[in-house]
Amino acid sequence: MLIGVACLLVFLLMALLMYSRRLSALLALPLMAVVIAVIAQIPAPEIVSKVLNEGALKLNATYTTTMFGAMLAELMNKQGIAKSLVRWVAEFAGDNPFLLAVILTLTTALLFSTLGGLGAVIMVGTIVLPVMLSLGIANIVAGSLFLFGISLGGLFNISGWQLYSDVLKIQPAAIIAFVVPLSLITAFTILCLLTLELRSWKNWKYLVSFTSLLAAAGFWIYKNHSQESASTAAAVCDNNSVIGFGILLLVLAAIALYRQKADAQSNPGIALITPLVPLFLVLCFHWAFIPAFMAGLAFGTLVTWKRNSINVLTRSIIDGITAVIPAVCLMMGIGMLINAVSHKAVTASIQPILTQVIPTHALPYVIVFSLIAPLALYRGPLSLWGMGSGLVSLVQKATTLTSPAIMAMLLSVGTLQGVCDPTNTQNIWVATYLGTDTQVILKKTIPYAWVIAVGGLILAVAFGYVPI
């Protein structure tokens, strides 16, 4: 018991150090892994081999997937696909502030289902935010909508799904079974934010109309949801889809030859669907993540072919990997921490404590995690991209909470971290660009993000992830 208390105190100390910005998560996570291993009296050879060596490699599938996702994001940036999509939407959306804000937020979400990193945030934000501001939308509202759009798109970013697959051993089918209805809750909350902040009675008709559509979609999902859809059984890649996509690439290659001969410089309209290609292949044809991103790279390169496309593709691969190196290092630290807290010496000492405090039934699950949702901020114990990576493994081993229940909780409360956290690079850039402060963004967005968190927890109970 004393060892368990000491390990939890280490978690608390590291949280305070990260909160006060005296220690970065990149350093805090591996340091925490070593300290916990020493406290639990894990033999030194095991600390070196199991915690450090195997831990650094534990999430190799996750950070490899992240690299391929970053390559596609860089290609979209360099070939002008992302800018073209935002400008096309802004040009044809009209001058209605409500409708334009909704469309731009959805466009941001679409882009960030593939894009990631501060570079993409700056590229999209410098287009989206001025358009919103030009129609009289307040700067803090425009910034909040942009951040919610990034978060909404992040729910469908399949690079992020790989982390849940590695840590909780959940297949994409189980993730999407929860992500889709959670995205409807997020979309409804965004509509409420926009309606309340624009302070115009005429916008209520739009809120009612959009809400009706979301409610119909939500009802259909609930009626068609089954335990089979949320199972952890791996789906098999569809053979016909591989053949069909191969034929498509041959057609695009022929078109690319024509574009090279004609020295074409503009991108065709079909290039705008590039961010949807990997998502479509994963969801509809059960492709694995890495081949899906490779398919997206091939599609994006051929459909926008120019004389320098080979160089652009090569540069995108290099720059994409470079951009996610900090995230890769963070995942190595996460793997070390997971291996440390998963050791029997640690789980045996902390299990008695966790079984007393972690809610495992429906009502306590919703109430407790709703109240402590802000612990997802500052890479705290409810953030899978921070200290939560270690606690998740402990909770999974020491309690009766199922993997879908833990996943649902992390995705729900993760909205606060993704949208509100003042330490996020996107929040810092948005605040600086708009001439405000990250704490102002936190105060504006946290009530709405909290609503999403509570809604997600209730959704998990409705889907039967947590026993009554």
Q: Write out pLDDT tens, residues 415-430.
A: 998 899 876 778 888 8
Tell me the C-alpha distance between 408 and 401, whole Å.
11
343, two tokens: 């050791």
> What pLDDT does 235 receive?
58
Q: Residue 52: pLDDT above 90?
A: yes
Angle between helices 438-462 and 139-154 in degrees, nearest 10: 40
- Hey, which bits of 194-324 come out as E strands? none
Handedness of CA 204, 207, 210, 213 (dihedral sign): negative
Handedness of CA 91, 95, 97, 102 (dihedral sign): negative
Contacts of 434 (CB under 8 A, 6+ apart): 129, 139, 140, 142, 143
268, two tokens: 């065709």
> What pLDDT does 236 receive?
65
The pLDDT tens digits of the residues spanning 431-441 come to 888 888 888 88
The pLDDT tens digits of the residues spanning 328-387 come to 887 888 788 878 877 878 777 776 776 777 888 899 999 999 998 988 886 667 777 666
> What pLDDT does 416 receive?
92
> What pLDDT does 228 receive?
42
243, two tokens: 């053949």
Tokens 């320098």 identify what position? 308
The pLDDT tens digits of the residues spanning 170-208 come to 888 888 889 999 999 999 999 999 998 887 777 788 788
The pLDDT tens digits of the residues spanning 129-154 come to 888 888 788 999 999 999 999 999 98
Of 345 and 466, the one with more pLDDT? 466
The phi, psi pair for 304, rounded to 5°, reads -110, 25
- Range 56-69 average pLDDT: 83
Contacts of 257 (CB under 8 A, 6+ apart): none
Reference 150, options 227, 73, 217; nearest CA is 73
Please answer whether residues 433 and 125 qualify as being in contact, where contact means their C-beta atoms are separated by less than 8 angstroms.
yes
The pLDDT tens digits of the residues spanning 64-78 come to 887 888 888 889 888
Tell me the C-alpha distance between 455 and 305, whole Å.
44
In the DSSP assignment, the letter for residue 436 is -
- Range 311-328 average pLDDT: 88
Q: Dihedral angle at the C-alpha atoms of 146, 185, 156, 266, nearest 10 degrees?
A: -50
> What pLDDT does 250 receive?
95
The pLDDT tens digits of the residues spanning 224-274 come to 654 444 444 455 677 888 999 999 999 999 999 999 888 888 888 888 888
Per-chain mean pLDDT for the chain: 83
If phi > 0 it is left, if psi is from -120 to 50 it is alpha, else beta; for residue 170 that is beta
pTM for the model stands at 0.74
- Range 293-298 average pLDDT: 92
> What pLDDT does 229 receive?
45
Tell me the C-alpha distance between 442 and 440, whole Å.
5
Letter for the amino acid at 142? Answer: A
> What pLDDT does 94 receive?
62
> What pLDDT does 225 receive?
55
Least confident of 86-95, 117-126, 314-323: 86-95
Q: How many CB atoms lie within 10 A of CB 353?
A: 16
The pLDDT tens digits of the residues spanning 94-111 come to 667 888 888 889 888 988
> What pLDDT does 234 receive?
52
Of 285 and 398, the one with more pLDDT? 285
The pLDDT tens digits of the residues spanning 16-37 come to 777 676 877 788 888 988 998 8
Tell me the C-alpha distance between 85 and 272, whole Å.
6
